[in-house]
Amino acid sequence: MTTPIIEVRGLSFHYPDGRTALRDVSFRLAAGESVGLVGPNGAGKSTLLQHLNGILPGRAQYEHHHYVGDGHAHKHSTEARVWVDSLAVTGPNLPQIRRRVGLLFQDPDDQLFCPTVLEDVMFGPRNLGHKSVAAREIAQRSLAAVGLAGYDDRLPHHLSFGERKRVCLAGVLACDPMVLALDEPTSNLDPRGRRQFMNILRELPAAKIIATHDLEMVLELCTRVLLLDEGRLNADGPTRDVLANASLMAAHGLEVPLSLTF
């Protein structure tokens, strides 16, 4: 692999209450590659994604929350464990990192925080330094790319769930990231919404890492699969090889996708 666009080496993480979230996770992502991140609930998928743009390990105050566990406050090391485009994901690099990694969260209401759709999609470009006129153009192009042209003045709480998800995607695309980290992008979408979303994703040139339970989507869109369970990476290989391995899947609370059983 030429210089990977994402490199994770030996990443471990504990929640504030002492539970271990990630144990010594290592993998690489090449430019333009699409990787599926699968695993049971609570495996640490969202946690892993949030390490890719530096949201975690997060603020020091979290260390002193009340905890169960071995009684020690866990101080996370400040050593870099994640590199994006050869940049270490640590404090001073974070603004640069966030230009490169676009993170789409699970709940659109957590991400759609501006009064109107257009303002929200413009949020990213504005923070990146674009002037209003340029930001507006970028935002409108992104909205068109997700099939929501003309939704500029709509209010977020008047949109359907699927529309809100697409606005969030537009907001992330407007930042023109090299890597897209998506957390359960198709959950709660109806079949048409899901198909629309997948079509949009398929056309995007950015590298993608998609945390999801939707294994059929992984089969369609991803060339590689990472299997995470209890914070440990149990498998890292071509999609079919991992997803068709019935014993592996069963051992980690997953099922072989229907289309592979024929």
Partner 1 sequence: MHIQDGLLDVRTCVAAGVLAMSAVGYAVHRVRQSFADRAAPLMGVAAACLFAGQMLNFPVPGGTSGHLLGGVLAAVLLGPWAGLLVLTVVLAVQCVLFQDGGVTALGANVFNVGVLGSLVGYTMFASLRRLVGDPAGTVFGSVLAAWFSVVLAAVACSMQLAIGGRFVLGPTLGAMLLAHTMIGVGEALITGMAVSFILRARPDLVYGRNGQAGAVSHVAQWVVGGLALALVAAVLISPFASSSPDGLEWAIERLGVEPEPVEPVLAAPMPDYTPRGLENLRLAGSIAGAVGTVVVFVAASLLARGLGTRSSLAHASHAS
Partner 2 sequence: MQVDFLDRYSRGTSIVHRCDARIKLLVALGLVAIIVATPASWWQLVTAEFAIVLVAYAAARLPWSYLATRLASTLPFLLLLACGIPLSHGLDRGWDLAGQLLARSLLSLAVMITLVATTPFGQLLSALSRLGVPQVFTAILAFMYRYMFVLVDELEKMRRAKLSRTFYPSLWWELRLMANFVGILFVRAFERAERVYAAMCARGWTGRMPEQDGDR
- Residues lying near partner 2 in the complex (CB under 8 A) are found at 50, 53-55, 94-95, 98-99, 101-103, 105, 107, 109-116, 119, 123-124, 126-129, 131-133, 136, 153, 155-157, 171-172, 175
Measured distance CA(227)–CA(146) in Å, rounded: 29
* Shortest separation between residue 146's beta carbon and partner 2, angstroms: 16
The verdict on 65 binding partner 1 (CB under 8 A) reads yes
Alpha helices per DSSP H over 103-178: 108-111, 117-127, 132-145, 161-173
67 touches, from partner 2, partner 1, none (C-beta below 5 to 8 Å by class): partner 1
The verdict on 61 binding partner 1 (CB under 8 A) reads yes
Burial class of residue 234, CB neighbours in 10 A (0-12, 13-18, 19+): middle
Secondary-structure breakdown of the chain: helix, strand, coil percentages, each rounded to the nearest 5: 40, 20, 40
For partner 1, which stretch binds (CB under 8 A), given 64-72, 98-106, 140-148, 219-227?
64-72
Nearer to partner 1, 16 or 42 (CB): 16
99 touches, from partner 2, partner 1, none (C-beta below 5 to 8 Å by class): partner 2
* Shortest separation between residue 50's beta carbon and partner 2, angstroms: 7
The verdict on 158 binding partner 1 (CB under 8 A) reads no
In the DSSP assignment, the letter for residue 43 is S
Measured distance CA(23)–CA(234) in Å, rounded: 11
* Shortest separation between residue 71's beta carbon and partner 1, angstroms: 7
71 touches, from partner 2, partner 1, none (C-beta below 5 to 8 Å by class): partner 1
Instruction: For residue 215, give the nearest of 43, 37, 72 by alpha carbon.
Output: 37
* Tokens 């970028």 found at: 138
27 touches, from partner 1, partner 2, none (C-beta below 5 to 8 Å by class): none
Nearer to partner 2, 59 or 192 (CB): 59
- Per the document, the length of the chain is 262
Strand 179-183 and strand 207-211: the pairing is parallel
* Shortest separation between residue 135's beta carbon and partner 1, angstroms: 19
The verdict on 113 binding partner 1 (CB under 8 A) reads yes
Alpha helices per DSSP H over 85-238: 94-100, 108-111, 117-127, 132-145, 161-173, 191-203, 215-221
For partner 1, which stretch binds (CB under 8 A), given 62-70, 137-145, 154-162, 167-175?
62-70
